[in-house]
Amino acid sequence: MIKKNKKFETEAIRTQLERTQFLEHSTPMYLTSSFVFEDAEDMRASFAEEKERNIYSRYSNPNSSEFIEKVCKMERAEAGFAFASGMAAVFSTFAALLESGDHIISAKSIFGSTHTLFTQFFPKWNIKTSYFDSNALEEIENLITAKTKVIYAESPTNPGVDILDLEVLGKIAGKNGLILIIDNCFASPYLQQPIKFGADLVIHSGTKLMDGQGRVLAGITVGNTELIDKIYRFSRITGPALSPFNAWVLSKSLETLALRVDRHCSNALQLAEFLEEHPKVAWVKYPFLKSHPKYEIAKKQMKAGGCVVAFEVDGGLEAGKKFFDSIKLLSLSANLGDSRSIVTHPASTTHSKLNAQERESVGISDGMVRVSVGLEHIDDIIEDIEQALG
Ligand SMILES: *Cc1c(COP(=O)(O)O)cnc(C)c1O
């Protein structure tokens, strides 16, 4: 059961394991693969699950438990399980819940590896996926069949920064008895809590804003107790668990999540406003710009606009590449939500395997640039982008 929560920032700092006999202030690291038993009866009762206790770190570990409890409070979720990466969370969540023959309805604009999982691997186990346009939620109900089990989406989307109305998704899932799973990694639990809008499960890649400093891979799924129990039973056997070391790093990182994300968002908004006025920029997309087509929905479901700004350099692919080659301070890298600002060119990198038409259908044009706005001083971020545009 969820206790009455304190404010977000307070829970992020004060959710902590019980102190040991050493009365440490900061949570210690429990780098141990297994745990000991008092006697034969203790061991029997533990394995029989008559006691809630740690047995083996593939099942649970104190550091992972602290991280999970913290994210549950942040997302207003009942329970969770932590994974070695965001993709381990995505895969294990579906693998635990779906049977051969089941059907997924997914937004078209989803993380590339998730898309590959749905199209190239799930068909091996006779799990099919149909896609709806992220800007046409009315398509969803037409895709539902007797075999449909899950609706899956991300908002904001990557890299197009589209916004999906979570309340509408929640209603469709509720009305049709489907499980709504939201990948909330782009927003972080600080900006948006999908469970409030009817999501049953929320997935995060902890690698992004949660760590926020580009150090560790992690993933987590939180939500409804019954569903999480199935995910836990699958995962304790198949072994995708988060390492206690990474769990410790993440739990520390979450202490500063609100502070960091506030600055990411204010920097991103200032950059978006700068780009909107720039003559060499064809368009800019950022959820909290009034010009964003879903500005009102973004305001309804998010506290601020997030760390990612997308824009189009005038002149298409060549201009996009030239812009990249001219960047001096910012990183050309594949991560996001890092303290370091990162620029990517989806058409020539992450989405180069799609043809131009497929790219267009997920909102990626040839000159499109995605910036994950970091925590450097905004003047320096703008200066680098301005000189590269020049
Ligand atoms: C990065 C990312 C993932 C995958 O997470 P990893 O930790 O890299 O495995 C899943 N979904 C979204 C939206 C992401 O950005």
Complete DSSP assignment for 238-249: H--BPPHHHHHH
Residue 80: strand pairing partners: 222
User: For residue 356, what pLDDT is reported?
Assistant: 78
Q: Considering only CA atoms, which of 257, 251, 248, 187 is closest in space to residue 9?
A: 257
pLDDT, mean of residues 192-219: 97
Say which CATH number the domain at 315 has. 3.90.1150.10
Pocket lining for ligand 1, CB < 6 angstroms: 85-87, 111, 154, 158, 183, 185-186, 205, 207-208, 217, 219
Distance 265 CA to ligand 1 centre (A): 20
Nearest atom in ligand 1 to the alpha carbon of residue 87 is 9
Q: Considering only CA atoms, which of 160, 159, 199, 173 is closest in space to residue 301?
A: 199
Residue 41 within any structural domain of the chain: yes
pLDDT, mean of residues 325-352: 90
Residue 1 within any structural domain of the chain: no
- Whole-structure pTM value: 0.95
Mutate to test the pocket of ligand 1, among 208, 216, 249, 372 (most ligand atoms within 8 A of CB): 208
94-135 pLDDT, tens per residue? 999 999 999 999 999 999 899 999 999 999 999 999 999 999
User: For residue 188, what pLDDT is reported?
Assistant: 97
Which is more confident, 124 or 365? Answer: 124
104 and 207 belong to one structural domain: yes
32 and 117 belong to one structural domain: yes
247 and 293 belong to one structural domain: no
46-59 pLDDT, tens per residue? 999 999 999 999 99
Which is more confident, 112 or 305? Answer: 305
pLDDT grade, residue 4 (50/70/90)? Answer: low
pLDDT grade, residue 373 (50/70/90)? Answer: very high
What domain range includes position 91? Answer: 8-254
Mutate to test the pocket of ligand 1, among 108, 109, 115, 207 (most ligand atoms within 8 A of CB): 207
pLDDT, mean of residues 134-138: 92
241 and 108 belong to one structural domain: yes
d(CA 129, CA 152) in angstroms, rounded, equals: 10
Residue 3 within any structural domain of the chain: no
User: For residue 360, what pLDDT is reported?
Assistant: 77
Query: Which of 194, 220, 254 is where one domain is finished?
Result: 254
Which is more confident, 349 or 203? Answer: 203
122 and 167 belong to one structural domain: yes
Distance 205 CA to ligand 1 centre (A): 5
pLDDT, mean of residues 253-276: 98
pLDDT grade, residue 182 (50/70/90)? Answer: very high
pLDDT grade, residue 1 (50/70/90)? Answer: very low
Mutate to test the pocket of ligand 1, among 185, 201, 209 (most ligand atoms within 8 A of CB): 185
Residue count of the chain: 390
pLDDT, mean of residues 168-172: 98
Cis peptide before 189 (omega within 30 of 0): no
The proportion of the chain whose per-residue pLDDT surpasses 90, expressed as a percent, equals 88
218 and 313 belong to one structural domain: no
Residue 93 within any structural domain of the chain: yes
**Which residue has a Cα nearest atom 11 of ligand 1?**
111
Greatest Cα pair distance in the chain: 75
For 25-52, give one letter per residue: b (16+ CB within 10 A) or e: eebeebeeeebeeeeeeeeeebeeeeee
User: For residue 3, what pLDDT is reported?
Assistant: 56
d(CA 333, CA 119) in angstroms, rounded, equals: 26
d(CA 227, CA 80) in angstroms, rounded, equals: 9
Count of domains forming the chain: 2
248 and 275 belong to one structural domain: no
131 and 246 belong to one structural domain: yes
Say which CATH number the domain at 196 has. 3.40.640.10
269 and 248 belong to one structural domain: no
Q: In the numeric block, which tokens belong to residue 285?
A: 């997309």
Residue 195 within any structural domain of the chain: yes
User: For residue 318, what pLDDT is reported?
Assistant: 85
User: E strands within the chain?
Assistant: 79-83, 103-107, 128-132, 148-154, 179-183, 201-205, 219-223, 281-285, 308-313, 331-332, 342-344, 368-372
Cis peptide before 194 (omega within 30 of 0): no
- Give the range among 189-203, 259-273, 349-363 with minimum mean pLDDT: 349-363
235-246 pLDDT, tens per residue? 999 999 999 999
2 has pLDDT over 60: no
Residue 158 within any structural domain of the chain: yes
Residue 197 within any structural domain of the chain: yes
Nearest atom in ligand 1 to the alpha carbon of residue 88 is 9
363 has pLDDT over 80: no
229 and 279 belong to one structural domain: no
166 and 279 belong to one structural domain: no
User: For residue 159, what pLDDT is reported?
Assistant: 85
Nearest atom in ligand 1 to the alpha carbon of residue 206 is 7
CA distances from 184 to 35, 37, 204, 210, 302 (A): 33, 38, 6, 11, 11
Backbone angles phi, psi at 46, to 5 degrees: -70, -45
182 and 212 in contact (C-beta within 8 Å)? Answer: no
Distance 111 CA to ligand 1 centre (A): 7
Query: Which of 254, 283, 303 is where one domain is finished?
Result: 254
272 has pLDDT over 80: yes
Average pLDDT, the chain: 95
Cβ contacts of 297 within 8 Å, gap of 6 or more:
163, 164, 165
Residue 2 within any structural domain of the chain: no
272 and 351 belong to one structural domain: yes
Query: Which of 212, 236, 254 is where one domain is finished?
Result: 254
